[in-house]
C-alpha cells in the first residue's frame, strides 16, 4: 500500500485557490510536479515523430506551458539532445529539432514506452483534486428531482427513495422487470449531479502513464455552464473541465487495461467515474458474479478508495468518490445473499406504470413521432391487448408500439395513425405466439 507523500508545491498551489475549478498553470518544472526526465522524453518523442516543431506547437501537443518547455528545452540543448532549428523575432517564435544523438535516444525511449500524448499529472495531484471536488459537490433537493423526472411517471415513494439516496450519496439497487425503464432512470440520475469537475488527460504512476480522460464519458460543459464559468486562461492545460461523468460499467474492464499501441494504460470505468455516477447495469448477467461485483464496488465506495495494479505487480490506490447505481431485472434475493443486500443503501423497485400514466406516455409518443392519436385505439391497447395477454404496462412499450405503427405506415405510404388494425400489426411484430397473431 502506498503512503501519501508530503504535499508538492503543485498540490499546495491547487489547495490555495479553492474557488478555481482548474489548478493554475505551472510556471516551472518544479511546479509541474513531474520529473524533468519525463518531460525530456515527451518532448523528444514529439520531435522524433513530428520533426522540427515551433515552441507554441509543442505546448499544444504536450499541454505544458511555454515556461516549463523552455526550461526543459534549454537543458536538452545544453545536453546536445535538441537544437534550435530556426529563431524568429519573438521569444516564442523558435523551432526545435533533435540532434543525431537525440534521435537515437528518442527512438530508444519510444521503444520502451510509446506514449507521446499530453503530459500527465502526478498521482498525488489527482488524489488532491478528486477529494477537493468531492467536498464541493452539491446535493439535489426535492424540487430538482421532481423537475427532472416530471415526465417519467415515477411513483412518489420511488421519487422519495431516489432523492434520499442521492442526497446521502448512498448506493442504490434499481430492480424490476426488463423494460420498466430502470437503465434509463439510472442514466437520468446523472442529470442531478450539478457542477463541473476537472479531469486530467493522464496520470503518472512510477514510470507508467494511465490515461484517464475519455471524451466518450467526460462531456464538455453545456453552453449554460460555459457562460457562467469564467476560468483563467492561465489554468493548467493538463486538466479538462467536464460535466460530472456518468459511466456504465464494462465488467470486462474492471482493471487497468494495457494499451500497447498507445504506450499507456487505459483507466477502468470506476476511475473514469470519479466525482460522478457509476452504473452497474444488468447485474447478474456479467461473467463476474453479482455478489462479487457488488461487494467490490460497495467496499470501494465505503472506503473512498480502490486498489489498482500495473502489469509488473505494482499496486497503488486511487480515490473512489462516486455515486453507485446497480440495475437488475432478476429479483434481488435471487442474485445476492443477505450480507450483500445489506451493503446496498437503497433497494428501489421500478415496476409497471399505472393505466393513466401509460395512456399519457402513449399520447406523448404519438405526438413526438407524428402519429395521429385515437382514444378508442388506446383503450383497445390497454384493455384488450395488454389485459388479454397479461403483459404489464411497462414504460418501454409505448415508444416501441408507436414507432412500429409509424414504420408500417411509412412503408405503405400512408399517414401514420393509431388504430386497432395498426396496433394489431405492431403487436404481432413485437410478441410471438399471441392471440392477435392467430386472428
Q: What is the pLDDT of residue 91?
A: 82
Rg of the Cα atoms in the chain: 27
Question: What's the mean per-residue pLDDT of the chain?
Answer: 90
267 burial level (CB within 10 Å; 0-12, 13-18, 19+): buried
Same fold, 122-349 and 355-438: no
Q: Is residue 355 very low, low, confident or very high in pLDDT (cuts 50, 70, 90)?
A: very high
List the CATH code of the domain at 355-438: 1.10.8
Residues sharing a CB contact under 8 Å with residue 306, sequence separation 6 or more, in sequence order: 270, 271, 300, 317, 318, 320
- Contact (Cβ atoms closer than 8 angstroms) between residue 284 and residue 175: no
Per-residue b/e over 171-204, b at no fewer than 16 CB within 10 Å? bbbbbbeebbbbbebbbebbbbbeebbbbbbbbb
Residues sharing a CB contact under 8 Å with residue 215, sequence separation 6 or more, in sequence order: none
Among the four given CATH numbers 1.10.10.10, 1.10.1530.10, 3.90.1150.10, 2.30.40.10, the one describing domain 35-117: 1.10.10.10
Q: What's the distance, CA 105 to chain centroid?
A: 37
Q: Please write the tens of the pLDDT for every residue from 290-302.
A: 999 999 999 999 9
Higher-confidence residue of 17 and 284: namely 284
- Contact (Cβ atoms closer than 8 angstroms) between residue 68 and residue 30: no
Higher-confidence residue of 152 and 112: namely 112
Q: What's the distance, CA 240 to chain centroid?
A: 13
- Grid cell, residue 32, equals 509541474
Neighbours of 104 (CB within 10 A): 13
Q: Is residue 51 very low, low, confident or very high in pLDDT (cuts 50, 70, 90)?
A: very high
Rounded to whole angstroms, the Cα distance separating 52 from 396 reads: 57
Q: What is the pLDDT of residue 7?
A: 54
Q: Is residue 11 very low, low, confident or very high in pLDDT (cuts 50, 70, 90)?
A: low
Q: Please write the tens of the pLDDT for every residue from 400-419.
A: 999 999 999 999 999 999 99
Neighbours of 274 (CB within 10 A): 26
- Is the domain spanning 122-349 CATH 3.90.1150.10? The answer is no
Sequence spans of domains, the chain = 35-117, 122-349, 355-438
Q: Is residue 52 very low, low, confident or very high in pLDDT (cuts 50, 70, 90)?
A: very high
Q: Is residue 25 very low, low, confident or very high in pLDDT (cuts 50, 70, 90)?
A: very high
Q: What is the pLDDT of residue 438?
A: 43
What number is the average pLDDT over the span 378-403?
95
Rounded to whole angstroms, the Cα distance separating 53 from 44 reads: 11
% of the chain surpassing 90 pLDDT: 76
Q: Is residue 5 very low, low, confident or very high in pLDDT (cuts 50, 70, 90)?
A: very low
Residue the block writes with cell 399505472: 354
% of the chain surpassing 70 pLDDT: 91
Q: What is the pLDDT of residue 17?
A: 45
Q: What is the pLDDT of residue 220?
A: 92
Q: Is residue 89 very low, low, confident or very high in pLDDT (cuts 50, 70, 90)?
A: confident
Residue the block writes with cell 513530428: 50
Q: What is the pLDDT of residue 140?
A: 81
How do 121-122 and 323-328 pair as beta strands?
A: unpaired
Distances (CA, A) of 120 to 1, 116, 212, 214, 269: 22, 11, 10, 14, 19
Rounded to whole angstroms, the Cα distance separating 213 from 193 reads: 19
What number is the average pLDDT over the span 63-84?
96
- Contact (Cβ atoms closer than 8 angstroms) between residue 265 and residue 246: no
Rounded to whole angstroms, the Cα distance separating 438 from 436 reads: 5
Q: Please write the tens of the pLDDT for every residue from 161-178.
A: 999 999 899 999 999 999
Q: Please write the tens of the pLDDT for every residue from 224-274.
A: 776 655 555 689 999 999 999 999 987 667 899 999 889 999 999 999 999
Q: What is the pLDDT of residue 16?
A: 43
Rounded to whole angstroms, the Cα distance separating 62 from 65 reads: 9
- Contact (Cβ atoms closer than 8 angstroms) between residue 101 and residue 82: no
Rounded to whole angstroms, the Cα distance separating 153 from 157 reads: 12
Is the pLDDT score of 436 beyond 80?
Answer: no
Amino acid at each position: 500500500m502506498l503512503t501519501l507523500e508530503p504535499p508538492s508545491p503543485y498540490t499546495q498551489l491547487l489547495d490555495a485557490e479553492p474557488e478555481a475549478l482548474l489548478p493554475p498553470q505551472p510556471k516551472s518544472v518544479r511546479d509541474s510536479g513531474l520529473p524533468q526526465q519525463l518531460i525530456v522524453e515527451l518532448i523528444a518523442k514529439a520531435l522524433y515523430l513530428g520533426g522540427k516543431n515551433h515552441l507554441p506547437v509543442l505546448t499544444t501537443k504536450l499541454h505544458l506551458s511555454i515556461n516549463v518547455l523552455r526550461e526543459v528545452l534549454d537543458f536538452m540543448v545544453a545536453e546536445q539532445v535538441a537544437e534550435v532549428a530556426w529563431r524568429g523575432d519573438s521569444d516564442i517564435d523558435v523551432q526545435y529539432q533533435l540532434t543525431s544523438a537525440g534521435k537515437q535516444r528518442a527512438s530508444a525511449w519510444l521503444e520502451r514506452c510509446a506514449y507521446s500524448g499530453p503530459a500527465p499529472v502526478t498521482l498525488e495531484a489527482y488524489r488532491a483534486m478528486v477529494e477537493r471536488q468531492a467536498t464541493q459537490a452539491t446535493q439535489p433537493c426535492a424540487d430538482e428531482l421532481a423537475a427532472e423526472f416530471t415526465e417519467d411517471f415515477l411513483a412518489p415513494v420511488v421519487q422519495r427513495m431516489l432523492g434520499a439516496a442521492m442526497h446521502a450519496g448512498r448506493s442504490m439497487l434499481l430492480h424490476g422487470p426488463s423494460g420498466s425503464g430502470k437503465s434509463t432512470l439510472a442514466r437520468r440520475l446523472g442529470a442531478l449531479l450539478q457542477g463541473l469537475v476537472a479531469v486530467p488527460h493522464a496520470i503518472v504512476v512510477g514510470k507508467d502513464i494511465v490515461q484517464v480522460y475519455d471524451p466518450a464519458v467526460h462531456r464538455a460543459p453545456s453552453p449554460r455552464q460555459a457562460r457562467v464559468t469564467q476560468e483563467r486562461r492561465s489554468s493548467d492545460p493538463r486538466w479538462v473541465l467536464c460535466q460530472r461523468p456518468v459511466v456504465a460499467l464494462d465488467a470486462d474492464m474492471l482493471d487497468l487495461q494495457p494499451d500497447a499501441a498507445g504506450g499507456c494504460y487505459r483507466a477502468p470505468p470506476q476511475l473514469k467515474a470519479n466525482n460522478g455516477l457509476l452504473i452497474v447495469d444488468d447485474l447478474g448477467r456479467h461473467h463476474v458474479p453479482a455478489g462479487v461485483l457488488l461487494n467490490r464496488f460497495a467496499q470501494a465506495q465505503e472506503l473512498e478508495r480502490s486498489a489498482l495494479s500495473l502489469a509488473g505487480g505494482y499496486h497503488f490506490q486511487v480515490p473512489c468518490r462516486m455515486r453507485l447505481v446497480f440495475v437488475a431485472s432478476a429479483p434481488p434475493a435471487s442474485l445476492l445473499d443477505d450480507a450483500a443486500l445489506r451493503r446496498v443503501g437503497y433497494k428501489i423497485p421500478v415496476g409497471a406504470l399505472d393505466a393513466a400514466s401509460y395512456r399519457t406516455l402513449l399520447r406523448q409518443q404519438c405526438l413526438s413521432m407524428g402519429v395521429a392519436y385515437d382514444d378508442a385505439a388506446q383503450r383497445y391497447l390497454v384493455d384488450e391487448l395488454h389485459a388479454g395477454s397479461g403483459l404489464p404496462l411497462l414504460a418501454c412499450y409505448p415508444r416501441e408500439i408507436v414507432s412500429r405503427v409509424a414504420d408500417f405506415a411509412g412503408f405503405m405510404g400512408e399517414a401514420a395513425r393509431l388504430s386497432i388494425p395498426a396496433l394489431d400489426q405492431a403487436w404481432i411484430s413485437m410478441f410471438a405466439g399471441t392471440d392477435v397473431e392467430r386472428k
